[in-house]
Amino acid sequence: MSQIRLGLDGKQIEVEPHTTLLQAAHQHGIEIPTLCHDDRLDPYGGCRLCLVEVDGAPRPVAACKTVCADNMTVRTHSDDLHRLRRTMLDMLMAEHYEDVGVKPNQLQELAAEHQLVQPSLKLGRRAAYDDRNQWIGFNPGACIMCDRCVRYCDEVMQCSALEHVGQGVGAVVQPTGRKSFLDTSCELCGGCVSTCPTGALYEKQAIVKRGEEVVLGGGGPIADAECEKTRSVCTFCGVGCVLDLNTKDGKVVKVTSDIGVGPNEGNLCNKGKFAFEFIHHSDRLTEPLVRGADGELHVTSWDDALQKVAAGMNGVKQRSGPDAIGFLASSRCTNEDVYIVQKIARAAIGTNNVHSCAAT
């Protein structure tokens, strides 16, 4: 099929058939504000922030739902559009209570970009929602009903564990049947959190200090801005999900993944997203140990431990030969780590007895 030609902000461009105006703008480096859009979801057209002007059209159209057509002339930014978007944001900010949820968030950032300091009005506030699960926090008071979470759960996870119920005054997003996340079909993947633009859904802080005591799980929201992010790869299965370890005060406090990134496109499962408490668990080994004459393991220095490792292995090698020594490399470690394991086996000990559970 031939390319579609159109005018975008005074520039003639060509795009593939079926490209939306939002995608075309993105491909040409033009940012159009959106709130209800996530590339992982079907176009929705709910928030109306991506409204653009198309010559000849009787009213502005949503860029996320409008497919490019030949000879269209499109303006993505104008004073009128700016005012229109500011009005939309003003309405959304009316129902968004800033004292709950994560701040800053995408909605608040867009409001600031549109010079919206104080919303024109504040009305009723949605009832709070308390949930006993350790991972996902939900503050309906911050929600703007964009349904990104509900749509993620339906379209991407296909779990349908969240629902948009009621109309008008009584409309609310909630876990299906207003049950706990633990008692629905929810798989605790945190995809709803990753797509929420208001911080209404958030990661409960994994490590909470209560006085001197450090408690795992169940804490309050922690904004991205408070954390330092380090891009890495998940430690669980072999999919290789790219994620960001969010650290604060030398601890991993949450895990996020940017939309579209990695083989996972920003999606994670419950383990990659939330099961990282083991990193700072008090059961972690912190000192080298050697077995004493009493048969128990005792703390020792690194020098002593390393010397005992060398002496023990050299002893077996002398008595029984290098092939009496076997190495089990870990499929959890890095390539660089395990390269050195087999190099020790082969070059330092002199055996090819090196394997791992990669055998299966």
Residues 162-191 contacting another protein, CB under 8 A: 182, 187-189
Q: How far is the CB of 106 from another protein (least distance, A)?
A: 22
Taking CB under 8 A as the rule, does residue 44 contact another protein? no
Count residues contacting another protein (CB under 8 A)?
113
Q: Site residues for another protein, window 95-154 (CB under 8 A)?
A: 133-135
Q: What whole-number distance in Å separates Cα of residue 199 and Cα of residue 141? A: 10
Q: How far is the CB of 207 from another protein (least distance, A)?
A: 11
Q: Which is nearer to another protein, 213 or 283 (CB)?
A: 283
Q: What whole-number distance in Å separates Cα of residue 284 and Cα of residue 264? A: 29
CA distances from 18 to 2, 44, 66 (A): 11, 16, 9
Among 7, 45, 119, 217, binds another protein (CB under 8 A): 217
Q: Which is nearer to another protein, 87 or 300 (CB)?
A: 300
Among 68, 98, 241, 254, binds another protein (CB under 8 A): 241
Taking CB under 8 A as the rule, does residue 360 contact another protein? yes
Q: How far is the CB of 203 from another protein (least distance, A)?
A: 11
Taking CB under 8 A as the rule, does residue 290 contact another protein? yes
- Please provide the size of the chain in residues: 360
Among 60, 101, 219, 262, binds another protein (CB under 8 A): 262
Q: What whole-number distance in Å separates Cα of residue 11 and Cα of residue 14? A: 10
Q: Which is nearer to another protein, 35 or 159 (CB)?
A: 159
Secondary structure string (H, E, C) spanning 229-268? EEEEECCCCCCCCEEEEEEECCEEEEEECCCCCCCCCCCC
Q: Which stretch binds another protein (CB under 8 A): 57-65, 70-78, 88-96, 223-231?
A: 223-231
Would you call 143 helix, strand, or coil by DSSP? coil
Q: What whole-number distance in Å separates Cα of residue 147 and Cα of residue 164? A: 7
Q: How far is the CB of 134 from another protein (least distance, A)?
A: 4
Q: What whole-number distance in Å separates Cα of residue 247 and Cα of residue 315? A: 44
Pairing of the two strands 172-175 and 213-216: unpaired
